[in-house]
Structure 1
Amino acid sequence: MIESDPFAGLRVESDGVHVAVAVIRDGQGRVLIARRAPHAHQGGRWEFPGGKVEPDEDIHAALRRELREELGIVPRRMFPLLRIAHRYPEKKVLLDVWDILAFDGEPTGREGQPLRWVAPAALEEYRFPDANNPIVRAVRLPHQYLISPQPVPGAERDFLRQLQHRLLAGIRLVQLRAHDLDDDEYTRLAEQCRELCQRHGALLQLNRDPGLAAQLGTGLHLTSRRLNSVSTRPALASGQLLSASCHDALELDRAEALQVDFCVLGPVERTASHPGAEPLGFPAFAELIRNRPFPVFALGGMRATHLDIARYHRAQGIAAISALWSP
């Protein structure tokens, strides 16, 4: 089954090239990449399989055709992932990226292109065309982003025990949100959370001063207030991610200017934590994130049952506190 896409009917402007791109995953969680021919644009670099959408061709039909011609496979189940508008000096492209979760056949390089199955964490070792960089970030990220509840002062041991339970249950992206702790308390807890996350192969985002994230070698999450107060991207250790909280198009623009690696946008649904906030709804969420060069998580009133509908609307996944802390 091929899932619906709210933007399937859109076309790139006449001066651009609309490209269908597939992130193909195997049963081990690896993704398939192919090497471009030396004479091609950005030749010799690795890329995610796909090709140009023909005039008046449906994106689903284009994906089926390209994957059959290039790899000899037929997609059976897929979600929209990203839509990336990118301008090279010589041309503009719109990458229509889909996550292929099931397919028939065995991928082979039918056009002579070398293929390689790669673990998501190892994609950073390969050189991709610049337009593919947001895809690499999206592939590295899971589809659930746990935002921690406020730790109770003096009960950090219980907090860490619950965090370990969530990591054992498969959570691989965590934000430590603990505004009620003072700097020393937060630092001690962040060090312990970092150790736990490293042990389970999870990414940790600190919702605190940028200097602490750089010191501990973790990712950094910017609140919307901090997002609007910084003028340049904070310095982070190599491989650590910058994320931000956004509520509207202006804040998404700000996040884009700072070259964030991903962000959260909401509230999408009504939420008890912000009872007075008017929810965006998924159609408006999808419109706001269209063509953004970074993955976006849906935030606000999210539960595990929202994951599929969030992904239909091109969200990276869902971000939540209570629904993921005590599902």
Structure 2
Amino acid sequence: MFPIHVAVAVIQNLEGKILLTRRQEHTHQGGLWEFPGGKVERREDLAQALRREIREELGIEVITHQPLISITHAYPEKTVRLDVHSILKYAGVPYGMEGQPLEWVSIEALHDYPMPAADRPICNALKLPDTYLITGPDPKAMKPFLRSLEVSLDQDIKLVQLRAPGLSDDEYRSLAAAAYKLCQRYGAKMLANASLGLIDKIDTDGVHLTSLQLTKLSDRPVSSGKWLAASCHNQRELEQAAALGVDFCVLSPVLATASHPQANPLGWDQFSEHLKHVNMPVYALGGLDRKHIPQAKMAGGQGIAAISALWAQG
């Protein structure tokens, strides 16, 4: 069964709220809230379909947009492929041209609205920033480490993976407690990259699994109220992460890196191809910095993850 290709728009107002529309009761998934959009017709490309659907549904003109996430979801009666784009600029005031109710919703409240299953990964993508900091070296020297972390957070880092493989469990717990307080002060989320035995003993916003940890798990190790992320290097690991219910992944290496010269980089084409088969936000990692964010997004990624490019020297 070929999937139905759907163009989907994420429209944000000046207050940062997202526009949702409610499906008519008589339609497929009727009564549920969704991000506006519709089917890509024959002889249309995605951009043409996006502009036409939003004009017909909401009476506004899409001016500029960029990819956010692609999702393929199989319902019992049909399969859909959603190409979701963030609308960067539009003209006009949205109105329910087909009589559908509209509502502006804060990003934090999106999960409170009943939605089709295919739309749910979009909510995670909207909550995540386009940079994911993996903490740098020398975690045993706590004061300099925390100073570098604070400088990084002051540069608008909002998502942090606390990685300190050389520490004992007790040392990691002490570092995590101080780092978490610092992240909270700056409004950033911190995920712990630690032994699975430490997960319930650390205050954190979530857990980041290594690829080895990922392969050993059959159940989600944290509650749905916390973020779960994973490191992946191939399609098999991405599929394992999806089966486990991971919220987002890091896929590497995209480009060659000095730290892992033996690794064969994926390149942007293979990175993009891998993402077509998973329904979750994915960060590109490996030889990247902030200037690669637009390229990562065009390839279907959430943004970039990095150590040296995002880790400040305190």
Aligned residue type for 1:285: F
1:238-280 Cα deviation digits (max 9, x unpaired)? 4211111111111112112212110011111111221111211
1:231 and 2:199 correspond: no
Tell me the secondary structure at the aligned position of residue 208 of structure 2.
Answer: strand
- 2:77 paired residue number: 90
Aligned residue type for 1:297: Y
Tell me the secondary structure at the aligned position of residue 100 of structure 1.
Answer: strand
Task: State the shift of 1:147 in Å.
Answer: 0.5
1:148 and 2:130 correspond: no
Task: State the shift of 1:76 in Å.
Answer: 1.9
1:116-148 Cα deviation digits (max 9, x unpaired)? 222222212222111111111111111100010
1:97-118 Cα deviation digits (max 9, x unpaired)? 1111121222222222222222
- 2:301 paired residue number: 315
Larger mean CA deviation between 301-310 and 238-247 belongs to 238-247
Aligned residue type for 1:187: R
1:287 and 2:287 correspond: no
Task: State the shift of 1:217 in Å.
Answer: 4.7
- 1:112 paired residue number: 99
d(CA) in 2 for partners of 1:166, 1:29: 24
1:138-179 Cα deviation digits (max 9, x unpaired)? 1111110001013331x2122222222222321111100001
Aligned residue type for 1:162: S
- 1:72 paired residue number: 59
- 1:246 paired residue number: 232
1:172-321 residue pairs with structure 2 within 5 A? 172-215=158-201, 216-234=203-221, 236-321=222-307
d(CA) in 2 for partners of 1:161, 1:114: 49
Aligned residue type for 1:269: L
With normalisation by structure 2, the TM-score equals 0.94
Q: Is the 8 A contact 1:175 1:206 kept in 2?
A: yes
Q: Is the 8 A contact 2:23 2:30 kept in 1?
A: yes
Which blocks of at least 5 consecutive residues in structure 2 are unaligned?
A: none
d(CA) in 1 for partners of 2:160, 2:265: 24
Aligned residues: CA RMSD: 1.7
Tell me the secondary structure at the aligned position of residue 257 of structure 2.
Answer: coil
Tell me the secondary structure at the aligned position of residue 309 of structure 2.
Answer: helix
d(CA) in 2 for partners of 1:306, 1:231: 34
d(CA) in 1 for partners of 2:99, 2:200: 44
Aligned residue type for 1:76: I
- 2:19 paired residue number: 32
Task: State the shift of 1:318 in Å.
Answer: 0.3
Task: State the shift of 1:180 in Å.
Answer: 1.0
Q: Is the 8 A contact 2:169 2:198 kept in 1?
A: no
Shift in alpha-carbon separation, 1:30–1:261, aligned structure 2, 3 A:
same
Which blocks of at least 5 consecutive residues in structure 1 are unaligned?
A: 1-12
Larger mean CA deviation between 207-216 and 282-291 belongs to 207-216
Aligned residue type for 1:47: E
Q: Is the 8 A contact 1:83 1:291 kept in 2?
A: no
Q: Is the 8 A contact 1:73 1:107 kept in 2?
A: yes
Shift in alpha-carbon separation, 1:211–1:107, aligned structure 2, 3 A:
farther
With normalisation by structure 1, the TM-score equals 0.90
Q: Is the 8 A contact 2:192 2:204 kept in 1?
A: no
Aligned residue type for 2:282: V
Aligned residue type for 2:211: S
Aligned residue type for 2:11: I
- 1:10 paired residue number: none
d(CA) in 2 for partners of 1:91, 1:238: 27
> Which of 47, 56, 71 is the aligned partner of 2:43?
56
d(CA) in 1 for partners of 2:138, 2:283: 23
Task: State the shift of 1:43 in Å.
Answer: 1.8
d(CA) in 2 for partners of 1:237, 1:258: 12
Shift in alpha-carbon separation, 1:214–1:117, aligned structure 2, 3 A:
farther
